[in-house]
Amino acid sequence: MLTNEKVQQVLSTVAYPGFTKDIVTFGFVKNVEVNGDRVVVDLDVTSSAPEVAQQLRDEITKKLSLEGAKEVIVNIKQPKMPRETSSRGKNLAPQVKNFVMISSGKGGVGKSTTTVNLAIATAMQGKKVGILDADIYGPNIPRMLGILGVQPEVVGNKVKPIETEYGVEVMSMGVLLEEGQSLIWRGAMIMKAIEQFLRDILWSDLDVLFIDMPPGTGDAQLTLAQSVPVTAGVTVTTPQMVSLDDSRRSLDMFKKLHIPIAGIVENMSGFICPSCHTESDIFGKGTAHDVALEYGTSVLGEIPIEPAIREGGDEGKPVVFYHPESETAKRYHKAANKLWHFIEKVNEEGGASNEAIQPTTPPGVSACSTAAGSQGGGHNNGGGSCGCSH
C-alpha cells in the first residue's frame, strides 16, 4: 500500500540530474498526493532544460511503479527558457542560458575568489553552472578548484570542460596554454582565443556560465560581450578609494557594452578573526555602497577577509563548499541568491542583448580592426596592439 511517506522516501532517492543531492534535499518537491495506486507529484525545479524534466519524470515513474503505483503523474514547474524568449544578438554558446561577467579594475582584489565561490554557491542552490577562466594573464581558477594539471578530454575538434566535485564544469584558458605563453598575447589573439573558448568547448546546457575576466577594460571584455549576450556584470572591488576608482572604470565599461549591472562585491571588507570570530574594520568597509548608488546598482555582498578564504584558494578547497557554516560562505550564498534574482529580472524584462555592440564591417576593412576601433571607451587599438596583419 503506497503512502505519502513511502512516496517521499522514494523521491529522496532521485538525484537531481547532474548533481549528487536528491530532489527532496534540494526542496524541489512541492506536493505529493496518493490516491490508491495513483500518485501525483508536483515539482518546482530550477533548470529550464527539457532533458532535466524528462529524466526526472522517467526516473520517478519507474521507481514508483516498482513500489506498486499504477498511474504516476509528475507535474514539473520550470523557469522559462530565457534563450527562446529573451536575449538577442550573437551567441557563440547557445546552450548556455545566462552569462555572468566578473570584472575588476585591477588584479589582486579577489576576482577569481569571488567567481569560484559565487559559482559554487549558485550550483549548491540547484543551478547548472560552469566557469570559464578567461584571465589569460593570471589563470588561477584551476588551482582554486583543485584541478591544477588536469587535462581536459578532447572530442573531435572540441574540448570537454573539466567536471568538478562541486557540480560545476570548468574550462581555463590557462589549461590549454604553455606556461608564460599568454603573456605575449595582444588584441586579436585574445579575441580569437575567447571566441574559440566559447564556440569549441562542449559546455552542457548550463543555467549560467560565470566568466572570470582579465583585470581591466580592454579587448577581452569587448570580444566577450560581442560573442555572447552577457546577462549580468559583477564588479569586484576592495573598500579602499583607489580600488573604488578602478571599479568605476569597470562599471563604465559595463555601461558601454550594454551589460546589465548586477552589482558590486566588496571584497576584503573588514576582517574576521579566526580565533575569536569578531569582525574588525581594517581597510574600511561599506564604501562600495556609494559607488553602487552612483551607478544605480547595489552591493551584492560584503565579504570580509577571512584566512579560510585564502587557504581554500591555495589548497583548491573553496570556502563556500568546505566551510559552509562560515560567515563568508553565508555571505557568498546571499550574494549568489541576489545575483540569480537579478538574472531572472533581466530575462523577465526582455533579456540581455549584444545587438548594439556588434562590429560593423565596411568593405575593405578587417573585422578585427573595426571591432576594436568602433568601441572607444579605453579600448586600445593603437596600431600594433591589434596583432592582426592588416
Ligand X SMILES: Nc1ncnc2c1ncn2[C@@H]1O[C@H](COP(=O)(O)OP(=O)(O)O)[C@@H](O)[C@H]1O
Q: Report the interface residues with Mg ion, using CB under 5 A.
A: 112, 138, 140
Give the distance from CA 299 to its chain's centroid. 17
**Residue of 306, 326, 340, 346 interacting with ligand X (CB under 6 A):** 306
Distances (CA, A) of 63 to 12, 47, 161: 11, 22, 32
Task: Report how far residue 306's alpha carbon sits from residue 309's, in angstroms, rounded to the nearest whole number.
Answer: 6
Is residue 110 involved in binding ligand X (CB under 6 A)?
yes
Is residue 309 involved in binding ligand X (CB under 6 A)?
yes
Residue ranges with strand state E in 36-86: 38-44, 71-77
Q: How far is the CB of 113 from ligand X (least distance, A)?
A: 3
Q: Which residues contact 297 (CB under 8 A, 6 or more apart)?
A: 251, 261, 262, 263, 264
Residue 57 one-letter amino acid: R
- R_g of the chain computed on alpha carbons: 22
Instruction: Say if CB 125 and CB 333 are below 8 A apart.
Output: yes
Residue closer to ligand X (CB basis): 83 or 106: 106
| Binders of ligand X in range 248-287 (CB under 6 A) | 267-268
Mark the segment that binds ligand X (CB under 6 A) among 44-52, 173-181, 277-285, 300-308: 300-308
Q: How far is the CB of 281 from ligand X (least distance, A)?
A: 14
On the 0-12 / 13-18 / 19+ scale of CB atoms within 10 A, 222 is buried
Task: Report how far residue 80's alpha carbon sits from residue 368's, in angstroms, rounded to the nearest whole number.
Answer: 36
Residue closer to Mg ion (CB basis): 112 or 235: 112
| Binders of ligand X in range 111-170 (CB under 6 A) | 111-113, 138, 140
Q: How far is the CB of 247 from ligand X (least distance, A)?
A: 12
- The interface partner of residue 109, options being ligand X, Mg ion, none and the CB cut-off 5 to 8 Å by kind, is ligand X
Is residue 52 involved in binding ligand X (CB under 6 A)?
no
Mark the segment that binds ligand X (CB under 6 A) among 93-101, 286-294, 299-307, 350-358: 299-307
Is residue 108 involved in binding ligand X (CB under 6 A)?
yes
Q: How far is the CB of 1 from ligand X (least distance, A)?
A: 54
Q: How far is the CB of 9 from ligand X (least distance, A)?
A: 41
- The interface partner of residue 313, options being ligand X, Mg ion, none and the CB cut-off 5 to 8 Å by kind, is ligand X
Convert 159-171 to b/e letters by CB count within 10 Å (16 or more is b).
bebbbbebbbbbb
Q: How far is the CB of 322 from ligand X (least distance, A)?
A: 13
Task: Report how far residue 266's alpha carbon sits from residue 257's, in angstroms, rounded to the nearest whole number.
Answer: 22
Give the residues lining the site for ligand X (CB under 6 A). Answer: 104, 107-113, 138, 140, 267-268, 303, 305-306, 309-310, 313
